Amino acid sequence: MTSLLDLDGEVLHGYWSAALDWVRRAAAGAARGRLLDLGAGTGTGALGLAARFPEAEVIAVDVEAASLARLRDKAAGLGLAGRVRTVEADLDAGWPDLGPLDLTWASMSLHHLADPGKALVDILGATRHGGLIAVDGAMRTSVPGIYAIGDLVPGPALAHKASDEGVIAVEDAAGLTTHPLEYIDIPRATFCMPNVASFGLTEAQAREQGYDVVVGKVPYGAVGAGTVYGDRNGLVKVVGETRYGELLGGHIVGAKATELIQELVNARALEGGYPEVARLVHGHPTMSEAIMEAARAADGWLIHG
């Protein structure tokens, strides 16, 4: 049995090309009730399909026997052992004949490839966007029925961004109304000491884009919680514009910054500006009061600062 760890990128590329050919052949005789998870890995997809479609048989295919063993253990623990069938694919012997499948719900993992985007371009004919895969607001590639998310597509390479893109892709695939992402407003979180978090535009970027910029800055030490939690040196900075009170960006350095930034992200998503944040009553003593005071500073009526 050949292991993926023994294969170079060229062989892996051929491996996935053969896999796609196999999927296309199976699709020709598609029959509902038999669902495919190709490249099952940890088994999240297969177990999700089994839970979502209780009448269906889920077939999980992978080349790693250890991954399939773990998947069987998980299925047994969830009471799904009789619903999920695992198949080990032997790269030397070719792909197993599983009979007709319902490929309306099929997934394929490309995580073993050094450049998954290249596989989508070369094998499927997807369009590139720079070094990434071009997608629309619903995460659709240029190839009908093929979606791409996460580090394969433009936008910040962040897990929470990829997770929401997955929701969007599944919603669109299921025919539901979905929402495109505003990538500039995705919170950026750096878990160092101290925490660093931001969203939206920097002050310099806002000025470059022609906004009449206003800035509000408050140190953590201006609010009681800064002393309570032992961080008086942190800083909250709010970037806004004066015409409509729009919240353009936020930047925080200090304890719990990665948590605090979400308030500003939510305010913008709900079409609130820094004047609205300034007027919201915040609990005391809390670190979030620094957000309120920075918004007040931007609005011209800082009280504690």
Task: Identify the active-site residue in 129, 160, 179, 284.
Answer: 284
57-66, 110-119, 232-241, 288-297, range with the lowest pLDDT: 110-119
Question: Would you state the pLDDT for residue 118?
Answer: 64
Would you give the end-to-end CA distance of the chain in angstroms?
67
CATH class of the domain at 185-299: alpha beta
192 CB-near residues (< 8 Å, 6+ apart): none
| Residue 168, pLDDT above cutoff 60 | yes
Question: Would you state the pLDDT for residue 14?
Answer: 53
Radius of gyration of the chain (CA): 25
Residue 56 binned pLDDT confidence (cut-offs 50, 70, 90) = confident
Indicate the domain borders of the chain. 4-173, 185-299
Question: Would you state the pLDDT for residue 125?
Answer: 66
| Residue 249, pLDDT above cutoff 70 | yes
CB neighbour class for 33 (10 Å; exposed up to 12, middle 13-18, buried from 19): exposed
For the chain, percent of residues with pLDDT exceeding 70: 78
User: What is the mean pLDDT of the segment spanning 40-56?
Assistant: 79
| Residue 30, pLDDT above cutoff 60 | no
Question: Would you state the pLDDT for residue 132?
Answer: 84
Nearest to 272, CA basis, from 202, 185, 213, 158: 185
| Residue 267, pLDDT above cutoff 50 | yes
**CATH number, domain 4-173:** 3.50.50
Question: Would you state the pLDDT for residue 232?
Answer: 95
What is d(CA 72, CA 69) in angstroms, rounded to the nearest whole number? 5
Question: Would you state the pLDDT for residue 63?
Answer: 76
36 touches 103 (CB < 8 A): yes
245 touches 273 (CB < 8 A): yes
- H helices within the chain, ranges in order? 9-27, 44-52, 65-77, 116-119, 159-173, 203-208, 224-228, 257-269, 274-279, 289-299
Q: Which amino acid is at 303?
A: I
Question: Would you state the pLDDT for residue 64?
Answer: 82
| Residue 108, pLDDT above cutoff 90 | no
What is d(CA 46, CA 50) in angstroms, rounded to the nearest whole number? 6
User: What is the mean pLDDT of the segment spanning 245-273?
Assistant: 97
User: What is the mean pLDDT of the segment spanning 237-243?
Assistant: 98
| Residue 111, pLDDT above cutoff 60 | no
Nearest to 170, CA basis, from 102, 83, 84, 106: 106
7-11, 31-35, 119-123, range with the lowest pLDDT: 7-11
* Element at 196 (helix H, strand E): strand 196-200
Higher model confidence: residue 276 or residue 40? 276
Question: Would you state the pLDDT for residue 195?
Answer: 95
What is d(CA 148, CA 193) in angstroms, rounded to the nearest whole number? 34
79 CB-near residues (< 8 Å, 6+ apart): none
Residue 7 binned pLDDT confidence (cut-offs 50, 70, 90) = very low
179 is catalytic: no
Degrees (nearest 5) of the Cα angle 117, 119, 123? 130
Residue 67 binned pLDDT confidence (cut-offs 50, 70, 90) = confident
Enter the tokens of residue 294. Answer: 């920075």
Q: What does the longest C-alpha to C-alpha distance in the chain come to?
A: 74
pTM over 0.95: no
Highest mean pLDDT, choosing among 1-5, 172-176, 186-190:
186-190
